[in-house]
Homo-oligomer: A and B are copies of this chain.
Amino acid sequence: MIARLKMRPGKRTNDPDGLRKRVLDVAEASFQARGYHASSLGDLMAAAGVTGGALHHHFPTKKALALAVIEERVSAAVEETWIAPVQAAGSAREGVRGVFEAVAAELEQQGFVRGCPLNNLAHELSLADADFRAALAGIFSAWRQAIADKVRADQQAGREQDTDPQRFAALAVATYSGAMSMAKTTQDSGVLRDCLNALEQGASSVSSSKGAGANRRRRMLRQHKAF
């Protein structure tokens, strides 16, 4: 057969950073939507427009790729969604409420719930591999630490004297994680507002029993298309 014309003579352009970013983008999205084990490298390569050689050059193994997603993307997502807003808020309590409301609003207009990026990967990978677990546990730790530190700052300003920083942080993170878990499974983001309201009920006035069910909104979200 006739020798093929060596492809298009169009020159190749090396862009290691861009290629790496493209792979991470695709891997992050697929790991969140389908999970780690259900995402094949072949699919990722096709979606990112990357060959096997290039992928292997940047990420020698699938585990290395997932570790990079956790350390660079999941960590950044928690930092951006939770840590920075809480630090910038007027108080720890206001910060937590703000994040709950912001995420709830985002989910309501998005129309579907992908779940919490950290918890999604944590459930699938934390028991499977020690390196995965260490990376994921570190993000959880930083998350809780940021909230606890904010409580301590409040206390130094004379507020929240009866609040235990560690416990408050644990409760905030756990409630959010669990609410997102339920929201993802039921595809109903209303549980986020339910949890937020229930959290604030203890410190609020006694008006919670009157008309409590009136302003509670509940909405089923439309089916999303994965990935």
Contacts and interface: CB of A to CB of B under 8 A. Distances in A.
A110 interface: no
A194 B172 CA distance: 11
Interface residues of A, number: 58
A106 B223 CA distance: 38
Given A119-B181, A128-B226, A167-B198, 10 more contacts: A123-B123, A140-B185, A164-B197, A164-B201, A166-B216, A171-B194, A174-B176, A174-B178, A174-B191, A177-B177
Interface stretch (A3-11, A34-42, A60-68, A83-91): A34-42
28 contacts: A38-B128, A119-B181, A120-B123, A123-B124, A124-B124, A128-B226, A140-B182, A161-B209, A162-B209, A164-B209, A164-B212, A166-B194, A167-B194, A170-B182, A170-B191, A170-B194, A171-B195, A171-B199, A174-B177, A174-B178, A174-B191, A174-B195, A175-B175, A175-B178, A177-B177, A177-B178, A177-B181, A178-B179
Interface in A96-143: 114-115, 119-120, 122-124, 126-128, 133, 136-137, 140-141
A194 B133 CA distance: 21
Contact of A198 (B170, B181, B186): B170
Count copies of this chain in the complex.
Answer: 2
Interface string A131-171: 00100110011000000000000000000011110111011
A169 B34 CA distance: 29
Contacts of A34: 127-128
A197 B166 CA distance: 11
A208 interface: yes
A34 B123 CA distance: 10
A80 to B, nearest CB: 20
A150 to B, nearest CB: 15
